[in-house]
């Protein structure tokens, strides 16, 4: 994997790109940090759309200079329920970054899992890698094991039908019924898109109440037996697969 620093050092770049490249936050999160007045250049509060030169201009976040020397890190976390997928939380809720504080580098989440969802979450300080994983152009299939209340057997076929969510037509790439009884069941739902709470909304639209939701794979990367709340480094092959292949 190329080092993001080579893409920005010595060149004038948008601040959000610099912050992403140097592992401070994703570009979207960096934009929020700039809008909140947390970023400064040369001692002056930065504005969204402002540019700077990494390694030359004095860029700080919350009064601390960004680190321009670092190693690229790629990890998988088995996110437990009850943690938010953000760097910090204004409501004081637990964040996933608390679970990876011993990584040795500042990393940020690639995509999101909502508060009550669990399972596979990627974190990195490589902006290009994060963009490759999240960009719709690469259409990486994400699979979830979903425990539901309702007619799971009937929904297993209907979930493959198109529905409109947030003004977009979506459907499951595949659905597998793992178990069912008179109360509900467990489904594996795979999707290509990544709309906010998409699987939950799809299930609700098909008459199911989601009891638990656990992401088990992204592309060819599987959560496996990693314990809840624990993390591990990705292998070089895993990083390469997520960066290049559409489905690993």
pLDDT at 158 over 50: yes
Q: What is the pTM of this model?
A: 0.74
Q: Which of 36, 65, 94 is the last residue of a domain?
A: 65
Rounded distance between C-alpha atoms, residue 133 and residue 116, angstroms: 22
Find all residues with CB under 8 Å of 159, minimum gap 6, and list them.
171, 172, 175, 187, 189, 202, 203, 206
Full domain range(s) for residue 192? 141-218
More confident residue, 56 or 212: 212
Rounded distance between C-alpha atoms, residue 33 and residue 39, angstroms: 7
Active site (annotated) includes residue 58: no
User: What CATH number does residue 99 fall under?
Assistant: 3.30.70.580
pLDDT at 211 over 80: yes
More confident residue, 145 or 160: 145
Average pLDDT, the chain: 87
pLDDT at 222 over 90: yes
Same domain, 48 and 159: no
Same domain, 124 and 151: no
Identify the band that residue 69 occupies on the pLDDT scale cut at 50, 70 and 90.
low
**Structure tokens belonging to residue 92:** 């004081």
Number of domains in the chain: 3
**pLDDT value at residue 82:** 95
The active-site residue, picked from 3, 114, 166, 245, is 114
The count of other CB atoms within 10 Å of the CB of residue 206 is 20
**pLDDT value at residue 91:** 86
More confident residue, 156 or 121: 121
User: What CATH number does residue 190 fall under?
Assistant: 3.30.2350.10
């Amino acid at each position: 994997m190329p080092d993001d620093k080579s893409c920005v050092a010595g060149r004038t770049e948008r601040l959000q790109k610099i912050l992403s490249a140097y592992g401070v936050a994703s570009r979207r999160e960096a934009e929020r940090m700039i809008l909140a007045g947390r970023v400064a250049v040369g001692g002056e509060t930065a504005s969204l759309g402002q540019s700077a030169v990494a390694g030359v201009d004095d860029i700080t976040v919350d009064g601390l200079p960004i680190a321009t020397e670092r190693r690229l890190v790629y990890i998988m976390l088995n996110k437990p329920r009850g943690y938010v997928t953000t760097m910090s939380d204004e409501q004081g809720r637990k964040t996933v970054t608390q679970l990876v504080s011993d990584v040795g580098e500042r990393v940020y989440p690639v995509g999101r899992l909502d508060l009550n969802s669990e399972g596979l979450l990627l974190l990195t300080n490589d902006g290009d890698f994060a963009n490759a994983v999240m960009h719709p152009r690469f259409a990486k299939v994400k699979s979830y094991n979903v425990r539901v209340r309702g007619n799971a057997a009937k929904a297993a076929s209907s979930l493959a039908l198109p529905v409109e969510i947030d003004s977009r037509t979506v459907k499951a790439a595949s659905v597998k019924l793992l178990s069912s009884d008179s109360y509900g069941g467990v489904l594996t739902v795979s999707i290509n898109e990544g709309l906010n709470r998409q699987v939950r909304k799809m299930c609700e639209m098909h008459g199911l109440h989601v009891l638990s939701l656990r992401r088990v794979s992204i592309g060819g990367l599987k959560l496996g037996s990693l314990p809840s709340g624990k993390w591990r480094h990705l292998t070089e092959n895993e990083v390469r697969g997520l960066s290049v292949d559409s489905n690993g």
